[in-house]
Amino acid sequence: MHGGDDDGKLTPEARKRLIDAGVNPEDLIGPHPIPVDAFHPDGKAEPALGGRIIQHIPSQPANLCLPIENSSITRWALYELHEPLVEMNWETWEVEPIMAESYEVEDTVILKGGRSADNGNIVFGKVVDKGDVVEVTSGSPSNPTGVRAIAKRDIESIEKGTVFTFHLRPNTKWHDGHPFDTRDVFFSWDLYNNPDVDCDKIRFRFNEIVAADVLDERSIRFFYRQQYFQAVGSFTSDFCILPSHLYDLTDPDHADYDPDASQSARAQAINSNPHNIDWVGLGPYRMTEWKRDDYIEAVRFDDYYTDDPTKRGYVDVLRWKLISDDNTAFQGLLNEDIDVFYRIKTEDYFGDLTSSDLFTKNFYKAYTYTAAYQYTAWNNHRPKLSDPKVRLALAHCMDNQGWVDSKYFGLAMPIHGPVFFMTPAYDHSIPVVPYDPARAEELLAEAGWYDRDGNGIVDKDNEDLVLDILIPQGNKASESTVQKMQEGFSKAGVKLQIVQAEWASLMERKHERDFDGINMATTIPGFESDPKQTWHSEEGAFDVRSTNAAGVQDPEIDRLIAAIRGELDDETRYGLWRQFQRRLYELQPYLFMNSPPRKFAFNRKLHGVKMYLIPPGFKLRDMYYAAGTPGTRPINN
């Protein structure tokens, strides 16, 4: 594990901060085997097949079609109900084939004056530097290109890792029994080229894939316009493969086949498809029932590509149980109506509820960090918040470490930026802004804000520094956090006003940039995420609806984003990430607060639990009941 100076070394001070925050020291070494049942009071057990697991979910997704419903619950359900071409192994951090049996990665050589408008690929293969020339050879059995030497003077650019050829597993089937082939894969990419499909939240991930060639029923090739650090990662779970025979009106196997279907009609067949709810996937579990406002249930899929239970799961039935109120859900856990609960409050985790005999007899608790963090985004378009000096002053008003110690019993990590602190990209040498109201007053005065009329609130140009902070309605965590902020801010002469809004209204105001500050939490998807949509100037313009809610527009940030996105060497990219964090630290577009771990309760009968750093922090298919448990059967049967 790295982090800190440009060489990436984790300093002793940073290591101590992490361990003090409850980080498992083994997780600091980077990729490694995750221990099984590390929190289970009874330790490991011999696995058996069979049984049912019920996981609590606090909200119900609109549907399970990831391109149009990019929610956490949808993603978590699809981990078991569906499979991508490839997936990152959560222990090794390597991308491994799943529905693709194998794949090859090749490079692109673009000749001077030869870039094509439609795909930009001139010569592709494995590129080797030979001095004054580059040698291009085939890097895939499906690429018939022979050896070709190209003079460097004739080359416009070389884009490494931009051509991906996937070979699908033979004889694989959708949950309805229809064969899975490359038509499904091509359609699932091409839908992002249809502007009428409601996939804007995820479309940007696929904009740089400029062409795809179906080579045969089992082989397909994709071309990226330019090298991109998450190119192969784009074909993991984010690339949700849809069954063409159920979604594509131009597929002859579709019930409403229409070879001349319009772009709008094809989009409508995706946006309003009944199988967005009645899901047909490729995963080890097949959805059998969705009882709206109650539960989603799935059973083992008999035609999954492997019988290995470490890949396909152990239990026979999975159920995602909807209970919107966490207190009610916890009571459901105690009643043994739920087996997995992932929203234990900190005060309960350390309190009587989880230390009582009623709990410890049948359940146990665990936690893991999953790249979640809390923040307040400042609207940089508002004149009173446009000065980085003002935003730095506001950061000095929040006692971040004190809040971690009192609210989270120390089990959280104060952070300074939007990079997962457990990864090599995080810069531990950057200090968290210390709580210092006196320094905040000095900075505000330097920016022209001081109390001219004696009312206790700093002012400038006849305007008091009063900030409305949006929070999700009924969210007690946000409410208590902003109340803590009010306390510190008032000491520097800044008044905060809490404005609660129900979720749809809050998100609309966020996209419209109709706020001073907005207090929320987010989770970084994976160990590295593409920073463009949240931090690039193109996404920060006032009239652009994007996740760049703060309206950050900074040429240096843009330069670093471009460099990060195009850098394939890990260590070099980590250094760029650290530069990116330092520049954000100077700009202070967010009040970055802390990263708390996700805290769980598991049925004590369940074994096989691994605590991962990827949300939701566990995999249901890992879990099993011990051999001999009533209702189970031996694995060799």
- What tokens does 303 get? 């035609």
Secondary structure of 394-428 as H, E, C letters: HHCCCCHHHHHHHHCCCCCEECCCCCCCCCCCCCC
| 613 located within any domain | yes
Residue where a domain terminates, one of 210, 238, 256:
256
Are residues 382 and 363 part of one domain?
no
For residue 111, give the 3-state DSSP assignment. Answer: strand
Are residues 153 and 235 part of one domain?
yes
Are residues 611 and 581 part of one domain?
no
594 closest CA partner among 470, 354, 411:
411
pTM higher than 0.75, yes or no?
yes
Task: Count helices and strands (H / E) in the chain.
Answer: 19, 28
Are residues 388 and 310 part of one domain?
no
Give pLDDT, residue 116. Answer: 65
Mean pLDDT on 409-432: 91
Count structural domains, the chain: 3
Q: What φ, ψ does residue 437 adopt, rounded to 5°?
A: -60, -35
Are residues 427 and 465 part of one domain?
yes
Reply yes or no on whether the pLDDT at 128 is more than 80.
yes
| 313 located within any domain | yes
CB distance 351 to 344 below 8 Å: no
276 closest CA partner among 199, 215, 209, 332:
199
| 13 located within any domain | no
| 539 located within any domain | yes
Residues whose CB is less than 8 angstroms from the CB of residue 419 and which lie 6 or more positions away in sequence, other chains included: 425, 426, 427, 524, 577, 580, 581
Confidence label for 112 from pLDDT (cuts 50, 70 and 90): confident
Structural domain that includes position 223: 86-256
| 276 located within any domain | no
pLDDT tens-digit map of 467-506: 999 999 888 889 999 999 999 999 999 999 999 999 889 9
Q: Which CATH number is 584's domain given?
A: 3.10.105.10
For residue 494, give the 3-state DSSP assignment. Answer: coil
Reply yes or no on whether the pLDDT at 5 is more than 60.
no
| 9 located within any domain | no
- What tokens does 334 get? 């105690």
State how far the Cα of 550 lies from the Cα of 131, in Å rounded to an integer: 47
Confidence label for 67 from pLDDT (cuts 50, 70 and 90): very high
In this structure, the chain runs to a length of: 637
Give pLDDT, residue 7. Answer: 47
530 closest CA partner among 544, 546, 517, 508:
546
Are residues 455 and 341 part of one domain?
no
pLDDT tens-digit map of 373-408: 999 999 999 999 999 999 999 999 999 999 999 999
Reply yes or no on whether the pLDDT at 523 is more than 70.
yes
Are residues 124 and 238 part of one domain?
yes
For residue 359, give the 3-state DSSP assignment. Answer: helix
CB distance 132 to 151 below 8 Å: yes
Q: Which CATH number is 41's domain given?
A: 3.40.190.10
CB distance 149 to 161 below 8 Å: no
Residues whose CB is less than 8 angstroms from the CB of residue 310 and which lie 6 or more positions away in sequence, other chains included: none
Q: For 76-96, b where at least 16 C-beta lie within 10 A, e where not — what string?
A: bbbbbbbbbbbbbebeeeebe
Task: Classify residue 429 by burial, with Cβ atoms within 10 Å: 0-12, 13-18, 19+.
Answer: middle
| Chain CA centroid to CA 96, Å | 18
Are residues 574 and 535 part of one domain?
yes
Residues whose CB is less than 8 angstroms from the CB of residue 591 and which lie 6 or more positions away in sequence, other chains included: 375, 376, 378, 391, 394, 395, 398, 485, 517
Reply yes or no on whether the pLDDT at 295 is more than 70.
yes
Higher pLDDT, 525 or 95: 95
Strands 52-57 and 317-322: parallel
What's the chain's average pLDDT?
93
Per DSSP, helices labelled H in 182-308 are 182-190, 200-203, 244-247, 263-271
